[in-house]
Amino acid sequence: MTNLSTIQVIKKGEGLNIEFKSKIDSVFKIAKTLTSFANTSGGTLLIGVDDKGGIVGVESEIKELQKLEKAVSQCMEHPLSLKFKTERFEDKLVLRVEIDESSDKPHFAINEKQDRIIYIRVKDKSIPIPRMLIQGEAETSVAKILNSRQVKTLVNHLKEVDTIDVKEYSRMINISEKRANRMLNDLSEKQILIKLNKSKIARYSLKWTE
């Protein structure tokens, strides 16, 4: 995304690697966005642009930068390195923030209740993985799971489509349906996936809690 101009980014619209904010109204929410980009495939955050891509500008560049600094220093674990610049469009300022995919993931966002949550990017949303609230050995175990080739392939697939079943997953990573079923159920138990039983054939999607 760094090779695109800010106007080109705006024209692409919000999605997996792009998010717009008129302003930072919560350091906790912006920490969620930043960590979700770092935990997935990186992204561009434009502050001073509304949800429809309209340039509204920021009232104070300094205040928005202070909020970003607070989000990074106080509202996340494993701090991120951000790249940012300010651009002027007529009389309006837009703050552009670039977040690379992290080699040190997962990164935790900390909410108002001091819960530690890992977010990933799915389409144009930052989605929590509740399992990451626990600490210690289990935390390390889940981090390893998320970094495994089979699970990365699954997560990338579920960013493009909403659900998957056992047969589809077994073909995707070339394993038996029995093993695929065991893996999907294990991910469901760890609250990385949610199991849907609306039809005879169970389907799975990424866990999403409001």
Residue-level pLDDT at 199: 61
Q: Which token pair is 132? A: 């990451």
DSSP string, the chain: -TTS-HHHHHHH-SBTTEEEESS---HHHHHHHHHHHHHTT-EEEEETB-TTS-B---S-HHHHHHHHHHHHHHSEES----EEEEEEETTEEEEEEEEPPPTT---EEE-TT--EEEEEEETTEEEEEGGGG--THHHHHHHHHHTSHHHHHHHHHHHHSS-EEHHHHHHHHT--HHHHHHHHHHHHHTTSEEEE-SSSS-EEEE----
Q: Quick check: 1 and 121 in contact, CB under 8 A? A: no
The per-residue pLDDT for 132 is 41
Instruction: Report in angstroms the alpha-carbon separations of 143 from 118, 175, 205.
Output: 10, 22, 19
What is the residue-level pLDDT of the chain in tens, covering all 210 positions? 668 999 999 999 999 999 999 999 999 999 999 999 998 889 999 999 999 999 999 999 999 999 999 999 999 988 788 999 999 999 999 999 999 998 887 889 999 999 888 888 888 889 887 544 444 444 556 667 777 888 889 988 887 887 899 999 999 999 999 999 999 988 887 777 877 765 678 888 876 433
